[in-house]
Structure 1
Amino acid sequence: MAIHNDLGRRGEQLAKTHLENTGYEVIDENWCYGKAEVDLIAYKDRTIIFIEVKARTGTGFGEPEDFVDLRKQKLLAKAADEYIYLMNHQGEVRFDIIAILFTSETVYRLNHIEDAFWPKPE
């Protein structure tokens, strides 16, 4: 297994734990629709939150959250539309990013960015 896959899985597990410890209910993990994969889908205060998790070991190319580009945002929006339709969700929707920067094997900084973006129409 590639090292970046292990890092991604560790990041997603840390993000899930963070969400659960702060009152979110994680209702889905790694949900796929078409070419999009939503890392975590959570629910809190009658809002469905679609969460992209980005984990990195350095900032040489930017902060982890910088890697959620417009293309990724559009893919997440399409997946979210389908999920909302399937679940017949009538409440609010939000897109968050959880950025995790590892400085060593056991030391990391987690940044939960709420309402990080709203996908623009095509």
Structure 2
Amino acid sequence: MAEHNEFGNLAEKLAVAFLEEKGYKIIVKNFRYQKAEIDIIAEFKNLIIIVEVKARGSDIFMEPQEAVTKKKIKSVVMVADFFMKDRNLDQEVRFDIISVLPDHKGKLQITHLEDAFQSFDAN
């Protein structure tokens, strides 16, 4: 289990570096509300970007982004809603997924899916 957590932490660090390199301002990492969590909350071009990071050791069973189920979307949307109200923000929100997956040589590759889902996808 510890190895899985380390890989997840590494994936999140890579995602943060990737976003910062693209000009995103990281607001908070691992924002929790109740039992749910958002991996990264950033700001970019006056949008609040909610980022779910998914990492896998391989894509044999499924692509990392396929692990973002309706239940997970509902959870992320609920936390995002709380974050926006708690911080009294009225910017538009975009939901992204960053997947981290090793290529055939084992080098980690990042795929950034912008606007990967909408809040109404949780219904």
TM-score normalized by the length of structure 1: 0.94
What is the total number of aligned residue pairs between the two structures?
122
Q: CA deviation at 1:36?
A: 1.0
Residue of structure 1 in register with 2:23 after alignment: 23
Q: CA deviation at 1:106?
A: 6.2
Tell me, in whole angstroms, the C-alpha distance in 2 between the residues paired with 1:40 and 1:90. 18
Is 1:55 the equivalent of 2:55? yes
2:65 maps to a residue whose letter is E
Q: CA deviation at 1:103?
A: 3.8
Deviating 4+ runs (over 4 angstroms): none
Q: CA deviation at 1:34?
A: 1.1
TM-score normalized by the length of structure 2: 0.93
Between the two proteins, what is the percent identity of the paired residues?
41
Is 1:8 the equivalent of 2:4? no
Answer yes or no: is the 8 Å Cα contact 1:56–1:100 preserved in 2.
yes
SS in 2 for 1:51: strand
Answer yes or no: is the 8 Å Cα contact 1:57–1:103 preserved in 2.
no
Residue of structure 1 in register with 2:38 after alignment: 38
Tell me, in whole angstroms, the C-alpha distance in 2 between the residues paired with 1:33 and 1:105. 38
Tell me, in whole angstroms, the C-alpha distance in 2 between the residues paired with 1:104 and 1:60. 12
User: 5+ unaligned residues in a row in structure 2: which ranges?
Assistant: none
Change (3 A) 1:105 1:29: farther
| CA deviations over 1:26-45 (Å, ceiling 9, x no partner) | 01000001121100000011
Is 1:96 the equivalent of 2:90? no
SS in 1 for 2:117: coil
Give the superposed CA RMSD: 1.6
Q: CA deviation at 1:117?
A: 0.2
| CA deviations over 1:69-91 (Å, ceiling 9, x no partner) | 10000000000000000111111
Q: CA deviation at 1:104?
A: 7.6
